[in-house]
């Protein structure tokens, strides 16, 4: 089932050319191997199954890219457009010529970045389609399962402007290198935080949450959540998009701080008398 020597994990959608029998990412406690066992797929197989990329506008200058029918973890990638080029954030586990053409019509891709390893998807393949560098957190480099040629994937650690007007940094938490990106021009200039799984939106838009593992419901400590929220609070933003199409539409910075305080209180045991 190989595609030029590489495959996709059918569960997490991360590209892999290591030859490993089981997906390292899914075998970790933050993810899972399904009861049916490890299975590998390819872009060719997914295309034959009718997979395609839907492109949906989230707001002016920001588009969601989502594989349909749902594959892998089901992330909703984001294409953030700037005058200096576009950032593809939290990469889908699929692409084809139609998807590349659709993104090219929106200005293409100047940089590729995932918030954490579960979102690597076909990052190298997307980067190659547009001649764009793929940025990976240095502390999470062990989770990259397909490196490509030297220089195609670039590791980073210090906060930096991945493109003018888009600032990336690593608050950690979910993974040591878990990243967020601030899109300064988003939300009509009030700022948008691309949060990935660093802090995930919940049905009540007045809150977010923080987890080591979302599917396995493993929490983070009060100290880590307080640290993560403190790093995020240094940024100026009003709206938040996570990696599954959910958002906090307004006052998102305050929501992150309020949510971290509530989380820390419960994990620390401050409210045990209510249980």
Please tell me the predicted confidence (pLDDT) of residue 244.
95
**Contact status, residue 71 vs residue 13, Cβ threshold 8 Å:** yes
Residue 249 has phi, psi (to 5 degrees) of -70, -30
What pLDDT is attached to residue 4? 65
Q: Strand, coil or helix: what is 231? A: helix
pLDDT at residue number 71 = 87
Query: Tokens 């700037």 correspond to what residue?
Result: 82
C-beta separation of 95 from 125 below 8 A: yes
Residue 160's nearest CA partner among 116, 195, 111 is: 111
Q: Is the peptide bond between 69 and the residue preceding it cis, with omega within 30 degrees of 0?
A: yes
pLDDT in tens, 205-239: 999 999 999 999 999 999 999 999 999 999 999 99
DSSP secondary-structure letter at 265? H
* Mean pLDDT (10-residue bins), the chain, 275 residues: 76 96 97 96 96 97 95 94 97 96 98 98 98 98 97 97 98 98 98 97 95 97 98 97 96 98 98 97
pLDDT at 66: 95
Q: How many CB atoms lie within 10 A of CB 266?
A: 15
Q: Which of 198, 143, 201 is nearest to 173 (CA)?
A: 198
Distance of CA 138 to CAs 12, 114, 149, 171, 262, Å? 21, 12, 17, 13, 31
Please tell me whether residue 166 adopts helix, strand or coil conformation.
Answer: strand
Q: Which domains does the chain have, with CATH numbers?
A: 7-274 (3.60.15.10)
d(CA 1, CA 154): 28
Helix (H) or strand (E) holding 193: strand 192-196
């Amino acid at each position: 089932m190989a595609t030029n020597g590489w495959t996709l994990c059918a569960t997490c959608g991360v590209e892999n050319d290591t030859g490993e029998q089981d997906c390292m990412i899914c075998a970790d406690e933050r993810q899972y191997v399904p009861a049916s066992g490890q299975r590998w797929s390819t872009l060719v197989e997914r295309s034959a199954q009718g997979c395609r990329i839907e492109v949906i506008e989230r707001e002016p200058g920001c588009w969601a890219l989502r594989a349909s029918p749902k594959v892998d973890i089901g992330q909703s990638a984001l294409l953030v457009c700037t005058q200096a080029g576009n950032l593809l954030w939290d990469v889908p586990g699929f692409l084809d010529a139609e998807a590349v053409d659709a993104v090219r019509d929106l200005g293409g891709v100047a940089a590729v970045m995932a918030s954490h390893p579960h979102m690597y998807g076909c990052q190298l393949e997307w980067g190659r389609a547009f001649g764009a560098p793929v940025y990976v957190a240095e502390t999470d480099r062990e989770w990259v399962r397909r490196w490509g040629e030297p220089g195609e994937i670039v590791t980073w650690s210090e906060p930096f402007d991945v493109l003018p007007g888009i600032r990336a940094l690593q608050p950690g938490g979910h993974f040591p290198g878990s990243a967020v990106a601030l899109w300064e021009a988003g939300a009509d200039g009030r700022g948008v935080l691309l949060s990935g799984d660093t802090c995930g939106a919940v049905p009540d838009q007045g809150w977010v949450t923080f987890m080591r593992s979302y599917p396995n419901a493993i929490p983070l400590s009060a100290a880590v959540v307080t640290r993560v929220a403190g790093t995020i609070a240094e940024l100026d933003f009003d709206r938040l998009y996570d990696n599954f199409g959910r958002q906090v539409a307004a006052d998102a910075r305050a929501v992150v701080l309020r949510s971290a305080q509530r989380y820390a209180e419960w994990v620390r045991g401050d409210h045990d008398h209510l249980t």
